[in-house]
Amino acid sequence: MSALLELRGLRAYYGTVECLHGVDLTVGDGEVVVVLGANGAGKTTLLRSVCQLVRTEGSVLLSGKQLGGRSTYDVVRRGVAMVPQGRGTLAELSVDDNLRAGGYIRKDKQVRTDIAYWYDTFPRLAQRRSTSAGSLSGGEQQMLAIARALMSRPRLLLLDEPSLGLAPIVVRQLFDVLARVRAEREVAMVVVEQNAALALDLARRAYVLEAGTVAVSGSAAELRDDESVRRAYLGY
Ligand code: ATP
Rounded (10°) CA dihedral 42, 13, 77, 140: 40
From ligand 1's centre to the CA of 110, what distance in Å?
38
**Banded model confidence at residue 233, pLDDT cuts 50, 70, 90:** confident
Q: Given this model, what pLDDT does residue 161 score?
A: 94
The segment(s) of the chain belonging to CATH 3.40.50.300 are 1-79+154-236
Mean pLDDT of 142-168: 92
Residue 9, pLDDT > 90, answer yes
- Mean pLDDT estimate for the chain: 92
Question: What is the CATH code for 1-79+154-236?
Answer: 3.40.50.300
Say yes or no: ipTM exceeds 0.90.
yes
Q: Given this model, what pLDDT does residue 103 score?
A: 80
Residue 117, pLDDT > 60, answer yes
Please choose from 13, 43, 85 the residue to mutate so as to test ligand 1's pocket, defined by most ligand atoms within 8 A of CB: 43
Yes or no: say if 70 and 52 are a contact pair by the CB < 8 Å rule.
yes
Atom of ligand 1 nearest to the CA of 194: 2
Mean pLDDT of 59-78: 94
Yes or no: say if 33 and 220 are a contact pair by the CB < 8 Å rule.
no
Residue 170, pLDDT > 70, answer yes
The tens digit of pLDDT for each residue in 175-199 reads: 999 999 998 888 999 999 989 999 9
For residue 53, the 8-state DSSP code is S
Query: Residue 32: in which H helix or E strand, if any?
Result: strand 32-37
Query: For atom 2 of ligand 1, which residue has the closest CA?
Result: 39
Q: Given this model, what pLDDT does residue 44 score?
A: 96
| Neighbour tally for 86: CB within 10 Å | 13
**Banded model confidence at residue 111, pLDDT cuts 50, 70, 90:** confident
Instruction: Phi first, then psi: give them for residue 131, nearest 5 degrees.
Output: -80, 150
Residue 151, pLDDT > 60, answer yes
Query: For atom 29 of ligand 1, which residue has the closest CA?
Result: 14
Q: Given this model, what pLDDT does residue 200 score?
A: 95
Q: Is the CB of 45 inside a 6 Å radius of any atom of ligand 1?
A: yes
